[in-house]
């Protein structure tokens, strides 16, 4: 009876164990082995491993633990608790292992072994690994820093990067980065450089943001006008600026093998690496804010005014740098910006004659700050004074105003495009069919109206002829009446004369 009870309890616990996430992998005379589903944890977290016990116990059972088939070495961080469970605090990569617990149960007359697989993962590509505060803490050491698809760049405080394998020219690669609110990667130290080079997937290397397109040998990042860069890691005899005796190697690639830099022709095709800050929000970049027939989008990369104009043109077939032509649009732009931002207004062509770049709108609405614009007529081109020919919109608290500014300053910018049609292909087909049917209806109604008009015209002619006939008939009657009256008069007058003659005689 006692043996039957033990077997019943074992079967009952086994059925529960299946639901609990482990299975029996061995069953023999008085010996049982179980396998627990893999346990997944991150570095810094804590875990408590429990042996499977299916037979009745009275506290006299002996529990031993092994790690990778070797005797477990306990420490302050790794301890077997009084209840026989194994506790590991502040997990480390070395804790990734196979653990085995053996329960020798004299009361239940069985030996039970449990295999446990502990999988300890490090931080994901988009996460930053934090410093360990204590060997006994239970807080994950991974902090999410970047959106999905982006990799946190070790060696920086707030930079995320993404590798793009498709070969592009430097300009096109830059535009692709711009289109998602990013820029070609910038590098400031050896740790960062080594990390970016590890992301590359081919020996050809990839574009980075460094270039000297504006001024030979004056290297800057992307479209900035100047650079305080002090870290460079050029390959041997680089930058050479050499291409068949043509000094046109103005853009820079990074090699995968050693991370060294090399200047090459900007129109060459290479993969590229984009970067964004850890505050990057893809949904903010991907969405346009629309009002009426126009949509607006803020781009946070800092460009000189002319480059901002060029970028807007390439982002969308109908896009140009924003024209603020009304108070309502000015209010809309106010909600988009956080810092001084380029708009399309400028007087580059002629001082004081402001116009909207890329827009047919006339300059009829303005929102100048007090004393602005303050550089209308104080330019002297002979002295190479560039003046303040471009316009920024600035935010003060909840209000925005306009200020003129030198076009060489680097600022974020607002692009404007025509609102996309909100019709699907099916809708267009329906519209065409509807238009065709409407045209048929109009033609039918027009034809009916024409026929009705023709019938009306015939009736009018008949009616007019009838009236004319009646009129003629009446004329003829009157004429006959007149003739009868004259005839009667001719008969009556002589009679009167005869009567008077008779009377006088």
Q: What is the dihedral of CA 161, 163, 168, 174, to 10 degrees?
A: -10
The CATH number of whichever domain residue 242 belongs to comes to 3.10.100.10
Do 250 and 299 sit in the same domain of this protein? no
Please indicate, yes or no, whether residues 53 and 113 belong to a single structural domain of this protein. Answer: yes
Look at residue 118 and give its three-state secondary structure.
strand
Q: Does 45 lie in the same domain as 163?
A: no
Is 482 strand, coil or helix? helix
Instruction: Name 178's Cβ contacts closer than 8 Å, sequence gap at least 6.
Output: 299, 301, 311, 315
What's the pLDDT score for residue 434?
65
The dihedral region occupied by 490, where left means phi > 0, alpha psi between -120 and 50, and beta the remainder, is: alpha
Q: Are residues 309 and 249 in the same domain?
A: no
Looking at the structure, tell me whether residues 225 and 343 fall in a common domain.
no
Over the Cα atoms of the chain, what is R_g?
47
Last residue of a domain, one of 367, 400, 418: 418
Same domain, 341 and 271: no
How far is Cα 100 from Cα 111, in angstroms, rounded to an integer? Answer: 13
In a domain, 61, yes or no: yes
For residue 437, tell me if it sits in a domain: no
What is the model's pLDDT at position 376?
59
Determine the pLDDT at residue 11.
43
Residue of 1, 110, 16 whose CA lies nearest to 56: 110
| Whole-angstrom distance, CA of residue 23 vs CA of residue 33 | 9
Last residue of a domain, one of 277, 308, 323: 277
CA 83 to chain centre: 54
Residue 39: predicted pLDDT: 93
Residue where a domain terminates, one of 398, 418, 438: 418
Q: What is the pLDDT along the chain (505 residues), one digit of tens a residue?
A: 444 444 444 444 443 344 447 899 888 889 999 999 999 999 999 999 999 999 998 989 999 999 999 999 999 999 999 999 999 999 999 999 999 999 999 998 999 999 999 999 988 888 888 888 888 889 899 888 888 789 998 878 788 999 999 999 998 898 888 777 788 999 989 999 999 999 999 988 999 999 988 788 888 888 776 677 788 999 988 888 766 556 688 899 999 988 999 999 999 999 999 998 887 766 555 567 888 788 898 887 788 999 999 888 877 778 899 999 999 999 999 998 989 999 999 999 988 899 999 888 889 999 999 999 988 555 444 444 568 999 999 998 788 999 999 999 999 999 998 875 444 444 445 556 766 777 777 777 776 666 666 666 655 666 666 666 676 666 665 665 555 555 544 554 555 454 455 555 5
Looking at the domain assignment, is residue 475 inside a domain? Answer: no
Which pLDDT score is estimated for 10? 44
Asked whether residue 229 is assigned to any structural domain, the reply reads yes
On whether both 65 and 168 belong to a single domain, the answer is no
Cβ-contact 34, 52 below 8 angstroms: yes
Q: Are both 209 and 311 inside the same structural domain? A: no
Domain with residue 43: its CATH number is: 2.60.40.10
Do 122 and 60 form a contact (C-beta atoms < 8 A)?
no
- Please return the burial class of 195, using the count of CB atoms within 10 Å of its CB with bins 0-12, 13-18 and 19+: buried
Owning domain of residue 402? 289-418
As a residue count, the chain comes to: 505
Instruction: Identify whether residues 310 and 407 lie together within a single domain.
Output: yes
Integer angstrom CA distances of residue 392 from 140, 366, 453: 45, 12, 64
Question: Is 462 contained in some domain?
Answer: no
Is residue 430 in a domain?
A: no
Report how many domains make up the chain: 3
Q: Are residues 343 and 236 in the same domain?
A: no
**Same domain (yes/no): 167, 263:** yes
Mark whether 338 and 392 lie in a shared domain: yes
Within a domain: residue 477? no
Q: What is the pLDDT of residue 52?
A: 92
Strands (E), 68-147: 70-71, 78-80, 86-88, 97-105, 110-121, 127-129, 142-144
Domain for residue 132, yes or no?
no
């Amino acid at each position: 009876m006692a043996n039957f009870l033990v077997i019943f309890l074992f079967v009952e616990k086994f059925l529960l164990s299946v639901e609990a996430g482990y299975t029996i992998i061995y069953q023999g005379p008085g010996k049982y082995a179980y396998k627990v589903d893999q346990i997944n944890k991150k570095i810094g977290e804590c875990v408590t491993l429990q042996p499977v016990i299916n037979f009745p116990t009275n506290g006299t059972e002996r529990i031993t633990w092994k790690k990778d088939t070797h005797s477990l070495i306990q420490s302050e961080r790794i301890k077997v608790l009084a209840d026989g469970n194994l506790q590991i605090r502040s997990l480390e990569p070395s804790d990734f292992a196979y653990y085995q617990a053996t329960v020798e149960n004299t009361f239940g007359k069985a030996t039970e072994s449990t295999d446990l697989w502990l999988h300890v993962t490090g931080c994901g590509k988009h996460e930053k690994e934090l410093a360990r505060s204590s060997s006994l803490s239970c807080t994950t050491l991974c902090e999410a820093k970047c959106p999905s698809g982006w990799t946190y760049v070790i060696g920086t405080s707030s930079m995320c990067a993404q590798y793009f394998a498709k070969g592009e020219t430097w300009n096109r690669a830059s535009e692709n980065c711009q289109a998602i609110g990013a820029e070609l990667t910038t590098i400031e130290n050896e740790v960062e450089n080594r990390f970016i080079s590890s992301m590359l997937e081919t020996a050809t290397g990839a574009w980075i943001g460094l270039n000297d397109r504006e001024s030979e040998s004056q290297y800057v990042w992307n479209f900035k006008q100047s650079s305080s860069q002090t870290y460079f890691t050029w390959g041997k005899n680089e930058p050479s600026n050499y291409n068949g005796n043509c000094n046109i190697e103005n853009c820079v690639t990074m090699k995968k093998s050693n991370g060294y830099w090399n200047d090459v022709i900007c129109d060459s095709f290479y993969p590229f690496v984009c970067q964004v800050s850890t505050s990057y929000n893809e949904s903010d970049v991907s969405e346009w804010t629309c009002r009426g027939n126009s949509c607006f989008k803020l781009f946070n990369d800092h460009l000189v005014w002319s480059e901002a104009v060029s970028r807007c043109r390439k982002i969308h077939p109908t896009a140009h740098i924003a024209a603020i032509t009304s108070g309502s649009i000015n209010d809309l732009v106010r909600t988009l910006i956080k810092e001084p931002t380029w708009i399309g207004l400028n007087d580059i062509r002629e001082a004081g004659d402001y116009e909207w770049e890329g827009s047919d709108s006339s300059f009829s609405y303005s929102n100048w700050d007090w004393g602005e614009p303050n550089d209308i007529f104080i330019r002297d081109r002979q002295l190479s004074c560039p003046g303040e020919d471009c316009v920024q919109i600035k935010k003060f608290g909840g209000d925005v105003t306009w200020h003129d500014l030198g076009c060489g300053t680097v600022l974020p910018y607002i692009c404007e495009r025509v609102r996309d049609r909100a019709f699907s292909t099916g809708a267009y087909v329906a519209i065409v069919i509807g238009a065709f049917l409407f045209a048929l209806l109009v033609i039918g109604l027009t034809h009916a109206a024409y026929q009705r008009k023709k019938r009306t015209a015939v009736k009018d002619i008949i009616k007019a002829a009838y009236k004319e006939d009646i009129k003629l008939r009446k004329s003829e009657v009157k004429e006959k009446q007149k003739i009868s009256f004259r005839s009667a008069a001719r008969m009556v007058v002589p009679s009167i004369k005869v009567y008077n003659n008779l009377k006088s005689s």
